[in-house]
Amino acid sequence: MRTTVIGSGSWGSAFARLLALRGHEVEVLTLAREEAVRLQATHENPHFLPGVQLPQAIRFTGRDDASLDGIELLVYAVPTQAVRDAARWAAPRRPRDTLQLSLAKGYEIGTLDRPTQVIEEETGAGAAALSGPNHAEEVGKDMPSATVIACADEAVALRLQTALTSETFRVYTNDDVVGVEFCGAIKNPVAVAVGMSDGLGFGDNSRASLITRSVAEMTRLGMIQGAHIATFTGLAGIGDLIATCTSRHSRNRLAGELLAKGVPPAEVESRVGQVVEGLHTAYALHDMAGRLGVEMPVTENVYQVLEGNRTPRECVAHLMARTPKSERHEGL
């Protein structure tokens, strides 16, 4: 399958490698021409995916020099807030029958659109979403992983499943696009909260409590939007939540640790060295929960820290002082 991947970050590079090893023809587009020249010369991406040699068959091209003529699959491997720009660029260039796949996990600030909604708005064609516990650092080293492709069109989902499944990358399908994208977005600010707990020196009890109570938040807000409850216990839900909240690879968890240690919110992403989706998604979830009237105490406290209204330690006191409730009667 002739494929173009927009984005040369950690996940874009690892995903391109996965496709190339499956025998697909792969071109990766970079924003800067200079970056494409460097990647083409070395087939290594030490800043985003250190220690991984990328297949020589992958071509790297600056976006301004690229053509989408004849491609069969277009992959959006850019941060959520950059999806609209990428889709707008692709819209007049992509063949009409090209399959589209989003790897982004978040909500567009302002519109509160999911990545596949943004892609459809800009290109006039639908897109599938891939989500799950898939740290690029591990996928890039062929460590066994599983993921889920969500698409309203079962035939498209099955075609992508066949194209991507390998000995080390197991792909499931799901028709709950809303739920899969929602879970992929909300787990990031939850991981920021867990990172704050870790940064304050708290232990396993605190981490497990935050993760578990966040599942209740995910379910409350997600089901109101039409997500299926089974999705929350699947790879895109619990699976990705566990990986993002506990992994040493998690940028979102690291961001939370930095916040707990006093790093100003405006400096966190530069300290992490990559985009931290959870910092942006916290704002989108604050707006979404407010519009829908849904209580989201964990992610709301992350928002309050980012706004400078509370310290991470004050968030702990705020959460622990909430009115006691029955765990069994939350409409889950």
27 pLDDT higher than 70: yes
Domain assignment of residue 257, yes or no: yes
Q: Which CATH number is 277's domain given?
A: 1.10.1040.10
The CA distance from 133 to 118, in Å, is 23
CB 52 within 8 A of CB 141: yes
Last residue of a domain, one of 154, 175, 196: 175
240 pLDDT higher than 60: yes
What residues make up the domain containing 82? 2-175
Do 144 and 104 lie in one domain? The reply is yes
The CA distance from 254 to 250, in Å, is 6
34 pLDDT higher than 80: yes
Domain assignment of residue 37, yes or no: yes
Do 183 and 171 lie in one domain? The reply is no
291 phi and psi angles, rounded to 5 deg = -65, -35
Q: Which CATH number is 165's domain given?
A: 3.40.50.720
pLDDT average, residue stretch 168-189: 98
Residue in 141, 187, 261, 325 annotated catalytic: 187
Phi/psi-derived region of residue 167, left when phi > 0, alpha when psi is between -120 and 50, beta in every other case: alpha
Domain assignment of residue 327, yes or no: no
State the pLDDT at residue 330: 56
Do 128 and 266 lie in one domain? The reply is no
Give the angle subtended at the CA of 173 by the CAs of 233 and 183, to the nearest 5°.
Answer: 40
204 pLDDT higher than 80: yes
Give the angle subtended at the CA of 183 by the CAs of 179 and 188, to the nearest 5°.
Answer: 160
Last residue of a domain, one of 175, 200, 219: 175
Helix (H, G, I), strand (E, B) or coil at 49: strand
State the pLDDT at residue 220: 93
Domain assignment of residue 328, yes or no: no
Do 171 and 247 lie in one domain? The reply is no
Q: What type of residue sits at position 214? A: S
Domain assignment of residue 196, yes or no: yes
Residue whose token pair is 């916290």: 282
* Overall number of domains in the chain: 2
Domain assignment of residue 330, yes or no: no
State the average pLDDT for the chain: 96
pLDDT average, residue stretch 96-116: 97
Phi/psi-derived region of residue 331, left when phi > 0, alpha when psi is between -120 and 50, beta in every other case: left
Do 210 and 142 lie in one domain? The reply is no
Pairing of strands 128-131, 145-150: antiparallel
How does pLDDT run across 264-312, given as a tens digit for each residue?
999 999 999 999 999 999 999 999 999 999 999 999 999 999 999 999 9
Which two three-digit tokens encode residue 307? 């706004």
State the pLDDT at residue 329: 54
CB 60 within 8 A of CB 40: yes
How does pLDDT run across 132-177, given as a tens digit for each residue?
999 999 999 999 999 999 999 999 999 999 999 999 999 999 999 9
Domain assignment of residue 217, yes or no: yes
The secondary structure of residue 237, as a DSSP letter, is: I
Do 84 and 134 lie in one domain? The reply is yes
Q: How confident is the model at residue 327 (pLDDT cuts 50, 70, 90)?
A: confident
Q: Note the pTM of the prediction, 2 decimals.
A: 0.94
First to last CA, the chain: 42
**Is position 187 annotated as part of the catalytic site?**
yes
Q: How many other C-beta atoms can be found within 10 angstroms of the C-beta atom of residue 139?
A: 23
The CA distance from 52 to 146, in Å, is 20
Which two three-digit tokens encode residue 237? 């839900």
